[in-house]
Structure 1
Amino acid sequence: MLLCLTVDHRNADLALLERIERRTDTVTAALSDPELARGAVVLATCNRFEAYLDAPGLAPEQALDGLARAADLAPAELAASCSVHRGDAVVEHLFAVSSGLESVSVGEGEITGQVRRAIDAARASGRSSTELERLFQQAMVVSKRIKHRTGLQTQGRSLVQLALTMVDSRVGDWQAARVLLIGTGAYAGASLAALRARGARSIGVYSPSGRARAFADSHGIRPVEHDALDAELCDTDLVVACSTVHEPLLTRERFDETVTEGSPPFCSRFGRIAPPARNRTRPRLLIDMGLPRNISTDVAGVAGVELLDLETIALHAPIPELGAELEARDIVRTAAAEFAALRAERGAVPALRELRSFVNGILEEEIARIRDREAVDSNSAGVAAETEAALRHLAGRLLHRPTVRLRELAREGRAAEGVAAVAALLGEEPARGGPGS
């Protein structure tokens, strides 16, 4: 059975999401236990944590308990903020997620790449399964279909686009603004593109893991080394933080000791003198796209600093164009129904295999008999070939209707009836198999 545990911006606060995502590796290892599930894919983004499990016989309560223990949460606390999807509902949910329909900013484009990287990571570590591979590959197909048919993902929607729109009036002249990007991952690339689309030119990048120079060289921006971070903060108008750190990188202490409006042009944290700060007529703007947080919440209490985090962005997410979203959700429902039907059809495979094996066995015996006769009587060569072709055609015709009917039964959730009927006719034990086994 397919199972999905979802903790996202709709049912959990940012603090709970942070607590889970700080223990992502531990949670992933726990849910990937072969005794718990034969396949597991974990999707962790800035506003959701999801575990997709291929786990026949696993009760949702067991999965929730395993997640709670691994995340060091009380089971009751997790259960109150976790949605559980099972069976065919998992399919529709993932299709909607991968298409951006469940995002804070409906139609965001980044989520498709995040879903793809989640299944890639599971595959690379041996945590995936055949059923999960089918599911995630089809999710990519549905996402692409929605993008091309509705244009929902071509409107430039993303959380960072939304955040930049929210601070647009505060920045004013983007070309003159000095911007610091923190992080060098996939979301940093999307953030950089969004900044440039706004007209930002003076952009620096800082990496807690030391990858700033490589990222800067490949993107044509300036690198900020570890010992230059505080000096850079002295003269920065806008910080966009999207690094994968486990604890806040920018604390109140840093901003208390760097230049704010009306302060002298010094950075005292390490006794270094920073370049003269410009006369600020606007506050310093901080956008925290990280989960866990990159910036401590108490930084918002520093004079001359404004902090915009994921919770604030989510509260101001715009209502999407109704028509495009409705069309996209219709595509998701249709695709999910067809995927579920194909999964159900696989439940009839054992019966089909037995039936075809029985008929084809008799067919090959008759063809062998004809060929033996042909070897004795060379004059019957043409007749033998025609007879073989006729027998193969007849076998196909005989198998067609039972094959169609077995698949119909499977789509109706009655695959077991078909399997039992074939077993009864052939005098064999019912074969086991199918997606739910």
Structure 2
Amino acid sequence: MVLLSLVASHSNLDLETVARLSEGASQVASRVLEDEVPVKGAVVLSTCNRYEIYVEAESHQDVHIARDAVVSHVASATGLDISEVTSALQTKVNDDAVAHLFSVGAGLDSAVIGEREIAGQVRRALIEAQAGGTASGSLIRLFQTASRTAKDVGTKTSLGSRGLSVVSVALDLAADLDEREWREKNVVVFGTGAYAGATMALLKELGVTNISVFSQTGRAETFVETRGGVALDAMSLGPALLNADVLVGCSGGGQQISGADLANNERTHPLVVVDLALSHDFDPNIDALDGVHLISLESVRMAAPAETADAVRSARQIVDEATQEFAVSLRERSADSAIVALRKHTMSVLEEELNKVRAQHGCTAAAEEVEFAMRRMVKQLLHVPTVRGRELAAQGRADEYAQAIETLYGITVEDKSSVASSPASSSTGAECPVDHRLLG
């Protein structure tokens, strides 16, 4: 088993390219698994400034096949040329993929270092993959460990205490452009997703009471039921725009607010437009209008405060330790197939001998004592090879262990899914009223 990630983010691409990769690519995970390729699972992590796909391939030889399958489906979903997608998506394998996700979840790879919103997005990515049936066991463990690592960074370093986020930095910039109190402002929020929810919560903390929400999907009514505010529809959006002091775009639904939509607004105060949508809720040229100020994700990235070196160093140490622990556990699991094969072989031999005892002595106390002793002996004999197998796997030598098992015992090490059921679990002694499997 091999973990790999294909990464496109603000760290290596412009946000326009990231947005193009994200469009229509949400179903890539399921489509890859539908192909006849050696891929066991896939999880998509898509945020306002990154598009990443995590995949579990069956072996190192299958990494290129898995990557090509993902690239092909991203290109098909977005309409981009395969060469463009190939050059845009960076590939990270095993330890590098693990370290990257843990850094992302901890906010160390964010435009705003230490932001806490990304941790929630990592959790939701896994939940969505599980709901869609695309998350393999290894990917579930990877994302769950990433969430725990993010929590450790948040509680053990000063990064978690500052409460910074893309939304908070954007609203700070908005406040600088219009020095009136927030409670005096009319705000319109576009979208009903995670960023919209975070925006609503922060606006309430700032004292804003007049908040309206618009969603092209028609979910605004449900959204405001639990968060407050007024739901807008297509008819009421126009008047709300004319009375707005701040517009916050968190939707990215494809339909942009243009300069013409705001041209008739006779403003006595600046109109601040905050566009947090990767694919833009507002025409990027909208700030050409008099009195309109546009804050984009690029603006937020440039304005994000630098964190102290000590806090970042502590956070990276936590991430590095978590990465090493997970990498060791990942390598240890690579010996599972060989260990299961050895156990299957040994228990098969044991059951043959026990059947002879049962046939000769029946269900007597003496037979039970013999069976107990034989099971205890086999358990002791398997202990050292099992421990040694995991130690070798942790050193990256699982293949050597599997080869030794095949050479010494003449057994074939198969995929563990095909050897999970051993003869020890069969009911060979069903005619006897004593369950011999429970002995020892």
How does the TM-score come out when normalised to structure 1? 0.85
1:20/1:247 Cα in 2 relative to 1: closer, same or farther (>3 Å)?
farther
Give the deviation of 1:421 after TM superposition. 0.9
Structure-2 residue corresponding to 1:52: 54
In structure 2, what residue type is equivalent to 1:72? G
CA contact (8 A) 1:112 1:143 kept: yes
Structure-1 residue corresponding to 2:153: 146
Q: CA deviation digits over 1:259-309, x for unaligned, max 9?
A: 23xxxxxxxxxxxxxxxxxxx2x4111101112100111111000100001
Give the deviation of 1:232 after TM superposition. 1.3
CA contact (8 A) 2:275 2:295 kept: yes
Structure-2 residue corresponding to 1:412: 395
3-state SS of paired residue (1:257): coil
1:374/1:61 Cα in 2 relative to 1: closer, same or farther (>3 Å)?
closer
CA contact (8 A) 2:30 2:132 kept: no
Give the deviation of 1:225 after TM superposition. 2.9
- State how far apart, in whole Å, the 2-side matches of 1:23 and 1:52 are: 17
Give the deviation of 1:27 after TM superposition. 4.7
Structure-1 residue corresponding to 2:236: 228
3-state SS of paired residue (1:259): coil
1:68-107 counterparts in 2 under 5 A?
68-107=75-114
3-state SS of paired residue (2:212): strand
Give the deviation of 1:220 after TM superposition. 2.5
1:429/1:389 Cα in 2 relative to 1: closer, same or farther (>3 Å)?
closer
Q: How many residues in Structure 1 have an aligned counterpart in Structure 2?
A: 409
Structure 2 gap segments, 5+ residues each: 418-440
Structure-1 residue corresponding to 2:425: none
Is 1:423 paired with 2:431? no
1:62-211 counterparts in 2 under 5 A?
63-150=70-157, 152-172=159-179, 173-211=181-219
CA contact (8 A) 1:247 1:292 kept: no
- State how far apart, in whole Å, the 2-side matches of 1:76 and 1:259 are: 48
Structure-2 residue corresponding to 1:3: 4
Q: CA deviation digits over 1:3-52, x for unaligned, max 9?
A: 21111111111221222222224655654442343422211110001111
Give the deviation of 1:329 after TM superposition. 1.8
CA contact (8 A) 2:149 2:322 kept: yes
3-state SS of paired residue (1:2): strand
- State how far apart, in whole Å, the 1-side matches of 2:71 and 2:244 are: 44
Structure-1 residue corresponding to 2:427: none
CA contact (8 A) 1:30 1:70 kept: no
1:252-401 counterparts in 2 under 5 A?
252-260=259-267, 280=268, 282-364=269-351, 381=365, 388-401=371-384
Question: Comparing 73-82 with 130-139, which one deviates more in the overlay?
Answer: 73-82
1:34/1:385 Cα in 2 relative to 1: closer, same or farther (>3 Å)?
same
Give the deviation of 1:368 after TM superposition. 5.6
3-state SS of paired residue (1:205): strand
1:361/1:215 Cα in 2 relative to 1: closer, same or farther (>3 Å)?
closer
CA contact (8 A) 1:26 1:71 kept: no
1:155/1:8 Cα in 2 relative to 1: closer, same or farther (>3 Å)?
same
Give the deviation of 1:370 after TM superposition. 5.9
- State how far apart, in whole Å, the 2-side matches of 1:178 and 1:66 are: 43
Q: CA RMSD in A?
A: 2.6
Q: Percent identity?
A: 35
1:34/1:120 Cα in 2 relative to 1: closer, same or farther (>3 Å)?
farther
In structure 2, what residue type is equivalent to 1:214? T
CA contact (8 A) 1:31 1:67 kept: no
